[in-house]
Amino acid sequence: MTTPSFSVIPGAQVVDVLRGREKEVIATVENTYRLHGRGLTVNPDSYFLRFPEQPADRIIALPASVGGDVDVHGIKWISSFPGNVAAGIPRASAVVVLNDTATGYPLACLESSVISASRTAASAALAAVAIAERRGVAPSRVGFIGVGLIARYLHTYLVAGGLDFDEVGVHDLSREHAEGFEGYLQRAGSGPVTIHDSAESLIAASDLIVLATVAGEPHILDPALFAHNPVVLHVSLRDLSPEIVLASYNLVDDVDHCLKANTSPHLAEQLTGNRDFVDGTLFDLLEGRTTPPADRPVVFSPFGLGVLDLAVAKFVHDEVAAAGGLQTVPDFFHEMKRYG
């Protein structure tokens, strides 16, 4: 057996592979959800590294393995330091390490903030399109609460997934950030954009609501806000009160993963003592096992599975390799003889 090689794939190469290929990424994510639903993945709990003197900051490890035609092991290591934004750098940074399934050797390290954003956006877009198809009505007014990198990718992937919006609403605690996102939307050729002064105003004006904040606890509290039965992509997981969750039709990506770490669904479980309010998973939706009703709010809460990061990272790695662009690290594995 030849000595394994190890490659480093920087962010520029990742972006070059993924830009304009949103439909392929959505298809990759859908395939991975189907593999996960069929038991062909391993996705242990995420591990949170927290800091007592910096409660807003965390670094998370997501080990995973994907079988089937993806065939890779690995781990994502992603940090969230909200204070970075004020310093002029992104909140989140990440790497993914891919491991060969035959030898276990790591084969590549990829810059993964864009991979993480892309798989998150692809997951939400996949859910939004599937919900619209099952409900028989497509949303025409989308609203974004929280307007960082994830929101930008979510908008890109929602449009790439085939959704067309007549109106776009924006709300952020920072007016400057809201105006920056408005500028992005205008450059992207969006329809009319309205900046809302409150989450309540945006919710009332939207039939598809994207929650992409850094909230650590619920700040949207009143179920009556959702009386018009919108679809909610609850990407940031901790925005909604448990009362809103209990009044809604709830889809998750994975029940055990989503109902932990004081997510809004986890708070609803703590309040009720059961999980009866969970109506299905995205896999159930894709398989036609559940149909979201038109007369209730529909909330999709994706915890974010490491298997998705690995699948998208493997897609990037294989595309870079096929183009002859892998940057290998010479002699990365050095002690390869058992007795020297």
DSSP 215-270: -SS--B--GGGGTT--EEEETTSSSB-HHHHHTSEEEES-HHHHS-TT-HHHHHHH
Joined together, the tokens standing for residue 290 give 């559940």
Average pLDDT over residues 67-83: 96
Q: What is the C-alpha separation between 8 and 76, in angstroms, rounded?
A: 14
Regarding pTM above 0.85, the answer is yes
- Strand extents, DSSP E, 23-70: 41-42, 47-50, 58-66
What is the chain's mean pLDDT, rounded? 96
Give the CATH class of 7-115+306-322.
alpha beta
Q: Are 253 and 281 in contact (CB under 8 A)?
A: yes
Question: How buried is residue 157: exposed, middle or buried, by Cβ count under 10 Å (0-12/13-18/19+)?
Answer: buried
Average pLDDT over residues 54-82: 96
The residue with tokens 């897609």 is 315
Q: What pLDDT, on the 0 to 100 scale, is given for residue 191?
A: 83
Average pLDDT over residues 144-154: 95
At residue 309, does pLDDT exceed 90? Answer: yes
At residue 3, does pLDDT exceed 80? Answer: no
Q: Of 196, 198, 244, whose CA–CA distance to 218 is shortest?
A: 244
Q: What is the C-alpha separation between 93 and 84, in angstroms, rounded?
A: 10
Q: What pLDDT, on the 0 to 100 scale, is given for residue 293?
A: 96
- Residue 192: which residues within 8 A CB-CB, separation 6 or more? 166, 167, 168
Question: Which position has the higher pLDDT, 335 or 204?
Answer: 204
Ranges in the chain annotated CATH 3.30.1780.10: 7-115+306-322
For residue 20, how many other CB atoms are within 10 A of its CB? 10
Q: Are 77 and 59 in contact (CB under 8 A)?
A: yes
- Residue 182: which residues within 8 A CB-CB, separation 6 or more? 170, 193, 195
Average pLDDT over residues 178-198: 95
At residue 112, does pLDDT exceed 80? Answer: yes
Q: What pLDDT, on the 0 to 100 scale, is given for residue 335?
A: 82
Average pLDDT over residues 304-316: 97
Q: Are strands 278-281 and 249-252 parallel, antiparallel or unpaired?
A: parallel
- Categorize the per-residue pLDDT at 340 as very low, low, confident or very high, splitting at 50, 70 and 90: confident
- Categorize the per-residue pLDDT at 302 as very low, low, confident or very high, splitting at 50, 70 and 90: very high
Q: What is the pLDDT of residues 21-67, one digit of tens each?
A: 999 999 999 999 999 999 999 999 999 999 999 999 999 999 999 99
CA 125 to chain centroid, in Å, comes to 10
- Categorize the per-residue pLDDT at 281 as very low, low, confident or very high, splitting at 50, 70 and 90: very high
Ranges in the chain annotated CATH 3.40.50.720: 121-301
Which helix (H) or strand (E) is 190 found in, with range? Answer: none
Average pLDDT over residues 295-316: 97
- Categorize the per-residue pLDDT at 1 as very low, low, confident or very high, splitting at 50, 70 and 90: low
The long-range contacts involving 211-214, CB below 8 angstroms and separated by at least 24 positions, are 211/145, 211/146, 211/235, 211/236, 211/239, 211/240, 212/144, 212/145, 212/146, 212/147, 212/148, 212/150, 212/151, 212/154, 212/236, 213/145, 213/146, 213/239, 214/56, 214/80, 214/82, 214/91, 214/146, 214/148
Please state which of the four CATH numbers 3.40.640.10, 3.40.50.2020, 3.40.718.10, 3.40.50.720 is assigned to the domain occupying 121-301.
3.40.50.720
CA dihedral of 163, 164, 166, 170, whole degrees rounded to 10: 50
Q: What is the pLDDT of residues 160-187, one digit of tens each?
A: 999 999 999 999 999 999 999 999 999 9
Average pLDDT over residues 261-281: 97
Average pLDDT over residues 234-246: 98
- The single-letter code of the amino acid at 301 is S
Average pLDDT over residues 92-114: 96
